[in-house]
Chain A
Amino acid sequence: MFEIRIHSRGGQGGVTAARLLALAAIHDGKYATAAPFYGAERRGAPIVSFVRIDDKPIKIYSQIKKPDMVIVLDASVMDVVDVLQGLKGGGNVLVNSQQKKEFSGYASSNVDLTGIALREKLVVSGSPILNTPVIGALAKMGIVSVDSAKQAIREMFTDERNVKAAEAAYREMSA
Chain B
Amino acid sequence: MKKIATGNKAVAEAVKQAGPDVVAAYPITPQTEIVEQVAEFVSSGELKSRYIPVESEHSAMAACIGASITGARTFTATSSHGLLYMHEMTNWAAGARLPVVMTNVNRSLGPGWNIWAEHTDALQERDTGWLQVYVSTVQEAYDATLMAFRIAEHNDVLLPVMVNLDGFLLSHIMQPLDTVELGDFIPPLTLPHAIDPKSPTGYGGLTGPDQHFKFRWDIERSMRDSVKVIDDTQKEFAKRFGRQYGFTEDYRCDDADVVVVAMGTLGKEAEVAIDLLRKEGIKAGSMRLRWLRPFPKLVLIGKEVVVIDRDYSFGRGGILATEIMAQTKEELFSVIAGIGGQEVTYEDVADFVRNRRMGTESWFGVNSNV
Contact partner of A63 (CB less than 8 A), chosen from B116, B166, B266, B343, is B343
Complex interface: chain B residues within 8 A of A62 (CB):
269, 343-346
* Interface: B189 (CB within 8 A): no
Please tell me if B227 contacts chain A, counting CB pairs below 8 Å: no
Contact with B along A54-65 (1 / 0, CB 8 A): 000011111101
The closest CB in chain A to the CB of B170 belongs to A61
Of B2, B174, B265, the contact of A61 (CB 8 Å cutoff)? B265
Judging by beta carbons under 8 Å apart, are A61 and B4 in contact? no
In angstroms, Cα B150 to Cα A113, docked, is: 49
Q: Which of the candidate stretches A23-31, A80-88, A131-139, A166-174 sits at the interface with the other chain?
A: A23-31
Report the Cα distance A34→B170, complex, angstroms: 11
By a CB distance below 8 angstroms, the chain B residues around A23 are 4, 174
- Does A22 lie within 8 Å of B174, measured CB to CB? yes
Complex Cα gap A56–B345 (Å): 19
Does B101 interact with chain A (Cβ within 8 Å)? no
Q: Are A19 and B344 in contact (CB under 8 A)?
A: no
Interface membership of A141, Cβ < 8 A: no
A22-B4, A27-B2 given; A60·B346 CB < 8 A: yes
A36 to B172, CA, bound (A): 7
Query: Can you name the residue of chain B whose Cβ is closest to the Cβ of A61?
Result: B265
A34 CB contacts on chain B under 8 angstroms: 4, 173-174
Cβ-based interface call for A107 (8 A): no
- Cα distance, A58 to B176, chains bound together (Å): 10
Q: Once bound together, how far apart are the Cα atoms of A22 and B175, in whole Å?
A: 8
Contacts of B174 in A (CB 8 A): 18-19, 22-23, 33-35
Provide the main secondary structure of the chain A interface: mixed
Q: Which residue of A lies closest to B349 (CB)?
A: A62
Let me know if B173 and A59 touch, CB within 8 A: no
Contacts of B170 in A (CB 8 A): 61
Name the distance in Å between B148's Cβ and chain A's nearest Cβ.
22
* Chain B residue contacts of A65, Cβ below 8 A: 345
Interface residues of A in 33-69 (CB under 8 A from B): 33-36, 38, 58-63, 65
Residues on the A chain within 8 Å of B345, using CB? 60, 62-63, 65
A26-B4 in contact (CB<8A): yes
Shortest Cβ distance from B240 into chain A, in angstroms?
21
The count of chain A contact residues (Cβ–Cβ below 8 Å) is: 20
* B271 on the A face (CB < 8 A): yes
- Which residues on the A side are within 8 Å of B166 (C-beta)? 61
Q: Is the CB of B176 within 8 A of A26?
A: yes
Is residue B272 within 8 Å, beta carbon to beta carbon, of the partner chain? yes
Q: Evaluate contact between A61 and B268: CB separation under 8 angstroms.
A: yes
Asked if B319 is an interface residue, CB under 8 A from chain A, the answer is no
Q: Which residue of B lies closest to A27 (CB)?
A: B2
Contact residues in A for B172 (Cβ distance below 8 Å): 35-36, 38
Q: Known interface pairs A23-B4, A65-B345. Does A60 touch B176 (Cβ–Cβ under 8 Å)?
A: no
- B271-A59 in contact (CB<8A): yes
**A22 vs B271: C-alpha distance in the bound complex, in angstroms?**
22
Taking the closest CB of chain A, its distance from the CB of B80, in whole angstroms, is: 14
Closest to B341 in A: A38
Complex CA–CA separation, A136 to B346 (angstroms): 33
| Chain A positions within 8 Å of B346 at CB level | 59-60, 62
Query: Could you tell me which residues of chain A, from 55 to 109, have a CB within 8 Å of some CB in chain B?
Result: 58-63, 65
**Does B169 touch A at the CB level, under 8 Å?**
yes
Q: How far is the CA of A38 from the CA of B114 in the complex (A)?
A: 11
**How distant is B124 from chain A, measured CB to nearest CB, in Å?**
23
> Which B residues, 1 to 55, have Cβ-Cβ distances below 8 Å to chain A?
2, 4, 30
Contact between B2 and A60, CB atoms less than 8 A apart: no
**Which chain A residues border B265 with CB–CB below 8 Å?**
61
Residues of B contacting A61 with CB < 8 Å?
166, 169-170, 173, 265-266, 268-269
Identify the B interface with A (CB < 8 A).
2, 4, 30, 115-116, 166, 168-170, 172-176, 265-266, 268-269, 271-272, 343-346
Residue pairs across A and B with Cβ atoms less than 8 A apart, 20 shown, are: A19-B174, A22-B174, A26-B4, A27-B2, A32-B4, A33-B173, A35-B169, A35-B172, A35-B173, A35-B174, A38-B30, A38-B115, A38-B168, A38-B172, A59-B268, A60-B272, A61-B166, A61-B173, A62-B344, A63-B343
> Given contacts A33-B175, A60-B345, A65-B345, could you give 6 more A-B pairs where the C-beta distance is less than 8 Å?
A26-B4, A32-B176, A34-B174, A38-B172, A61-B166, A63-B345
